[in-house]
Amino acid sequence: MGSLLTPIMADLYMDHLFNICIDKMKRAGIIGIHKYVDDILIIGTRVGIERSQEILEEKARQDKLAYNDPGKIEFTIEFEDEYRSLSYLEVTLTGSLNNTVITNWYKKDIASDSMLNYFSNHPIAMKEEVMKEYVKRKLLTTNHIFREWTLHNVYRILINNSYPKQE
The per-residue pLDDT string of the chain (167 residues; one tens digit each, 9 = 90 and over) reads: 578 888 888 889 889 999 999 999 999 989 988 888 778 899 998 999 999 999 999 999 999 889 888 777 788 888 999 999 999 999 999 998 898 999 999 988 888 899 999 999 999 999 999 999 999 999 999 999 999 999 999 999 999 999 998 75
**Residue 37 main-chain phi, psi, to 5 deg:** 55, -105
Q: Are 95 and 101 in contact (CB under 8 A)?
A: yes
Count of residues in the chain = 167
Residue 74 in any domain: the answer is no
- Chain-centroid distance of CA 126 in Å reads 26
| Shared-domain flag, residues 59 and 94 | no
Residue 71 in any domain: the answer is no
- The span from the CA of 56 to the CA of 25, in Å, is 9
Contacts of 165 (CB under 8 A, 6+ apart): 159
DSSP state of 141: T
What domain count does the chain have? 2
| Shared-domain flag, residues 117 and 152 | yes
What's the chain's Rg over C-alpha atoms? 20
| Shared-domain flag, residues 59 and 97 | no
| Shared-domain flag, residues 61 and 118 | no
Helix axes 124-140, 147-160, angle to 10 degrees: 150
**Segments forming the whole domain that contains residue 92:** 86-160
| Shared-domain flag, residues 100 and 139 | yes
